[in-house]
Amino acid sequence: MAGLGETIGRLRKDGRLKPSRPGESGDAGMVEVRGFGSNPGALRMLAYVPQGCTTGAPLVVVLHGCTQRAGSHAAAAGWLTLADRLGFLVVAPEQDVQNNPNRCFNWFEAGDITRGAGEAASIYSMVQHMLRTQDGDPARVFVTGLSAGGAMAAVMLATYPELFSAGAVIAGLPYGVAQGMHEAFGAMQGGGSRSDRELVALAASAAPRPEQTPRLSVWHGGADHTVQSSNGVALARQWAGLHGLAAQPDEVEEQRGRMRSVWRGSDGDVLIEMNVLAGLGHGVPLATTGDDPLGVVAPFMLEANVSSSLEISRFWGIAPPAIADPGWNKTPAEDQLHAAERGAPLGQQVMASVAAHVPENIQQVIAKALGAAGLMR
């Protein structure tokens, strides 16, 4: 049986399949794959195999945000261009309006964020199908997403940690931060009720723990009023806990409005990074100008003079490192966390400021007092 790459090439050659430019159609030149396996979440699978893709290629799963289409999101964010350049496979699951009228992945519904069930299981099936039919490298599978897609990327990393080498979450939320839509809206505004310890426990119990926990890159706009940047802090701390690391980063560096915190393992390797971009709203950071433009500005695709997609690819090790040192300035380790948390409601800011300094039982007392005063939901 011909593989997906051969089929795509044949269809393009005889004119039945014509790639479109980003934004020209929802699929943006990606190919729908039917019959990929178990699909309890009723999702649609789109795939992209760059010409000349070789055996053992990495696989990147790209998850769109609310109101977006999978193909146009993957194209506008620069992932398809990077696939052509670097030779990796792309899978872009797409939500159906029958599941969610705004096309949001249901990152807050228990039936969709549990291992072996719902949307999480559908995405798992897509990955297995792509690896099997394209002979991809199972040791180099990655997942990224924006907003609801970012929260769903966190779901996949928590529920199938053995499947992914690393992931990236843009303007997303921690795994298990909300159950149901009401809690989801509260969490988006920085009003999540679960402590760092509870979030770590939820992620740790979501699946059997693998020998190696996936590495994580977190990106968030400092002026994101749709999903408060305090969620990026909570996600980074959740993942630090899974890796057995301290909540505070090992170092923080700043360069042209981008503040990057890193958590290192015992061998010195960076296991978690968090990037907060000053003044950026809700969307994927892009660099569409300059010597190496990448991506297309569109709704939720924001010019930021830095390509998150390229930087994430470098963090994952599937793109070569930057040639020149961008000139980072070291800053105190707490500065980025405080900068991100300033976008949160007052009660959340207070809790964030005391989290690293007081016991869990005292934190609970403070949280109850803040809630009684109407400063925290």
Residues 72, 125, 147, 229: which is the catalytic one? 147
Compute the chain's Rg from CA coordinates: 20
> Residue 329 — pLDDT band, cuts 50, 70, 90?
confident
- The token pair at 205 is 């119990």
Catalytic residue status for 122: no
Nearest CA to 377 out of 114, 129, 183, 139 is that of: 183
Average pLDDT, the chain: 86
Neighbouring residues of 48: CB distance < 8 A, sequence distance ≥ 6: 29, 30, 31, 74, 80, 83, 89, 90, 91, 92
Sign of the C-alpha dihedral, residues 82, 87, 88, 92? positive
Residue 318 has pLDDT above 70, yes or no: yes
Residue 363 has pLDDT above 70, yes or no: no
- Backbone phi, psi, residue 141, to 5°: -110, 130
| Separation of first and last alpha carbons in the chain | 56
pLDDT tens digits along 193-226: 789 999 999 999 999 999 999 999 999 999 999 9
**Are the beta carbons of 107 and 101 closer than 8 angstroms?**
no
User: CB-hemisphere CA count at 13 Å for 305?
Assistant: 9
Neighbouring residues of 302: CB distance < 8 A, sequence distance ≥ 6: 221, 280, 281, 283, 284, 285, 286
Which one is predicted more confidently, 168 or 27? 168
Strands 141-146 and 166-170: parallel
Nearest CA to 135 out of 19, 54, 44 is that of: 54
pLDDT tens digits along 101-145: 999 999 999 999 999 999 999 999 999 999 999 999 999 999 999
Q: Considering the entire predicted model, what is its pTM?
A: 0.83
